[in-house]
């Protein structure tokens, strides 16, 4: 067996996923997600909060991909949550007048 000369080829984890069945791809992504969450917990234990935050962004991106959430949907959710925090709560008289089936359930 001959030894290859030169730099070794780099294989990305995502490079072989193009032809994989959906179930297998999802299993691999879930496994990757679990690993990233373990790494984030380790970083938080070691007081590497900034690096843990960067990893949190990668975890969010992966979860969005798994659940097929678009960037626009995420932005709409953030905008809605921001508006809820800024607006005052509705007066108690308004909620008392609505029928029970029209009350907002959180």
Per residue in 47-61, pLDDT (tens digit) is 999 999 999 999 999
Segment 4-17 shows an average pLDDT of: 52
Nearest by Cα to 66 from 22, 29, 105: 29
- SS3 (DSSP) at 40: helix
pTM for the predicted model, two decimal places: 0.56
Cα–Cα dist 93/100, whole Å: 14
Longest dimension (CA), the chain: 84
Over residues 3-28, mean pLDDT: 61
- Alpha carbon distance 58, 37 (integer Å): 10
Token pair 């691999």 in the structure block, residue: 28
């Amino acid at each position: 067996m001959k030894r290859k000369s030169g730099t070794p080829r780099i294989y990305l984890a995502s490079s072989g996923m193009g032809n994989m069945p959906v179930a297998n791809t999802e299993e691999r992504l879930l496994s990757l997600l679990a690993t990233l969450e373990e790494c984030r917990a380790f970083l938080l234990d070691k007081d590497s909060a900034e690096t843990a935050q960067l990893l949190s962004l990668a975890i969010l991106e992966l979860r969005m991909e798994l659940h097929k959430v678009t960037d626009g949907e995420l932005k709409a959710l953030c905008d809605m949550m921001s508006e809820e925090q800024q607006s005052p709560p509705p007066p108690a008289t308004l909620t008392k007048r609505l029928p029970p089936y029209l009350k907002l359930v959180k």
